[in-house]
Structure 1
């Protein structure tokens, strides 16, 4: 039996991915698979613009709310679970529609990617070294062993992971980065990217963050803080949540947290655009456009047909 295509809807935050994915699910008898790493977390709803059951309108969604905020998200684990869901949806004769802005998670699901091993004991030793001696020595070690990775890593969590990989495998962290194959491993795949003018995207991001504030983001962060958010290495770093934790701590005002979240989200959107533009397999659609679903269906039929 011929497999239904996997449709991946990608692009920057606030570009319109959710709306398009719902319309495609209705037209293609599809089910949606989340590819936003922060929407994996239970309770992180307002700050991630997670779709509500009312908005989903009966369209099944997968890989939402599968982690507690204290758990660390894993691309390797996501890869395995996403592929299981894709196979299960296809087995029922339906169309899997992957939607999200976490580029590495999407690549992991679609392409052949080798993930470096982990060693919790070694990582704990490196973390202890960081806590005792600071980051300078680890950065120097990484510069010697893997200058390409050292040049781009900014935060300490990734620094610890990169050093762990070098010590554990003798290989650079860069050597494990995904190489975009000419064809995805889960063919047939149709990748649709949403392209939106930068000034409009900035307006939409600002409006979305303001709406998050009025919808109760601060209360959501308080509840997650009580549930252990700060101890979650991945969840606590989420845009919006780290800013509003500072409000709870009295380190800044809610107004400042909103502005900082807007600025951080705009920077993140630029990184998303850079990532997705680098993949020549993505077919780009201008957003917003009242005919975007029609144009998406035409693209799907051309590539899958």
Structure 2
């Protein structure tokens, strides 16, 4: 299997500089695993790496969409896997760096995503002419297991199960049976961490620096350019909290404190998610010996025979 180095961790932990250092040493190229950094113009609030900080390391999945576009985990899976293939063909090491857990797992494990109904208007027109009972009866003709497990009133799930078969000739039950959530690449997942009190203080300082660097003006520019707080891009931490401020219902200080609070809460959820969902190797970014040992582990993994 292709080897992929994955570096995850909460904001302000220091994973960006660490990933650049490792990329230099390991001949790596970096795929951003961040769900907000794909959008152009959302730079400060997403902690997007600046061109001069990249140190000539190629970066992908950054600045590829307009702020009004939608982007799904299935889209990331497709883009990231394409880049993994391209980077590997160049005899370089693909490195996914970010903090969006589901993005990471969907890329390195055998996740299969359902088709979106709005991609098939003719089929949707067909389903709309059918009652829920009709959908159940139709589903029974090719996927009785799903027909029995989906509640007859859950029209959305019934349509999705029908759509899968009508567009792929494969039943949802077959997809579930074959989808074992096993890795499709040889991934070494490295988690950057800090003592919780140190991390939280760094998060607070990071948010204050973002505001000093012009985060308010960045959000204001996005709004002037037609971006709405209901757009997917603006749902990220660091952006959604500004809605009350621009509606003049909360103060600037309250907005800053909300971003800090949500960032700390998200960091806590990230630790829980990665511990429960992945075979992760944590490294304390304040411990030089730990970092050195981690680099040795990475080298051993990379040099391991297939």
TM range (shorter): 0.7 to 0.9
Equivalent of 1:254 in 248, 252, 255: 252
**Partner secondary structure for residue 295 of structure 1:** helix
Equivalent of 1:41 in 36, 39, 42: 39
Structure 1 residues 60 and 234, CA, compared in 2 at 3 Å: closer, same or farther? same
Structure 1 residues 167 and 239, CA, compared in 2 at 3 Å: closer, same or farther? same
Structure 2 match to 1:168: 160
Shift of residue 214 of structure 1?
0.2
- Which digits, 9 at most, give the CA deviation of each residue in 1:6-30, with x for residues without a partner? 1000122222211110010000111
1:85 maps onto 2:77 in alignment: no
Structure 1 residues 90 and 265, CA, compared in 2 at 3 Å: closer, same or farther? same
Question: 2: distance between equivalents of 1:11 and 1:165?
Answer: 34
Shift of residue 180 of structure 1?
4.5
Name the larger-Rg structure: 2
Unaligned runs of at least 5 residues, structure 2: 125-148, 163-171
Structure 1 match to 2:185: 186
Shift of residue 107 of structure 1?
0.7
Shift of residue 192 of structure 1?
0.8
Structure 1 residues 166 and 22, CA, compared in 2 at 3 Å: closer, same or farther? farther
Structure 2 match to 1:52: 50
Task: Check the 8 A contact 2:33/2:98 in 1, yes or no.
Answer: yes
Task: Check the 8 A contact 1:192/1:284 in 2, yes or no.
Answer: yes
Q: How many residues align?
A: 261
Shift of residue 212 of structure 1?
0.5
Equivalent of 1:217 in 207, 215, 218: 215
Structure 1 match to 2:66: 68
Shift of residue 77 of structure 1?
1.1
Task: Check the 8 A contact 1:70/1:232 in 2, yes or no.
Answer: no
Structure 1 match to 2:274: 276
Shift of residue 105 of structure 1?
0.5
Task: Check the 8 A contact 2:245/2:255 in 1, yes or no.
Answer: yes
Question: 1: distance between equivalents of 2:94 and 2:275?
Answer: 23
Question: 1: distance between equivalents of 2:223 and 2:161?
Answer: 36
Question: 2: distance between equivalents of 1:247 and 1:261?
Answer: 12
Structure 1 residues 6 and 221, CA, compared in 2 at 3 Å: closer, same or farther? same
Question: 2: distance between equivalents of 1:163 and 1:26?
Answer: 52
Structure 1 residues 50 and 201, CA, compared in 2 at 3 Å: closer, same or farther? same
Structure 1 residues 164 and 265, CA, compared in 2 at 3 Å: closer, same or farther? farther
Question: 2: distance between equivalents of 1:68 and 1:16?
Answer: 27
**Partner secondary structure for residue 285 of structure 1:** strand
Structure 2 match to 1:27: 25
Task: Check the 8 A contact 2:9/2:192 in 1, yes or no.
Answer: yes
Structure 1 match to 2:233: 235
- Which digits, 9 at most, give the CA deviation of each residue in 1:273-301, with x for residues without a partner? 11111135211212223345422321112
**Partner secondary structure for residue 278 of structure 1:** helix
RMSD: 2.6
- Which digits, 9 at most, give the CA deviation of each residue in 1:186-225, with x for residues without a partner? 22x2111123211111101100100000000000001111
1:200 maps onto 2:198 in alignment: yes
Task: Check the 8 A contact 1:117/1:165 in 2, yes or no.
Answer: no
With structure 1 as the length reference, what TM-score do the two structures score? 0.78
Question: 2: distance between equivalents of 1:48 and 1:62?
Answer: 15
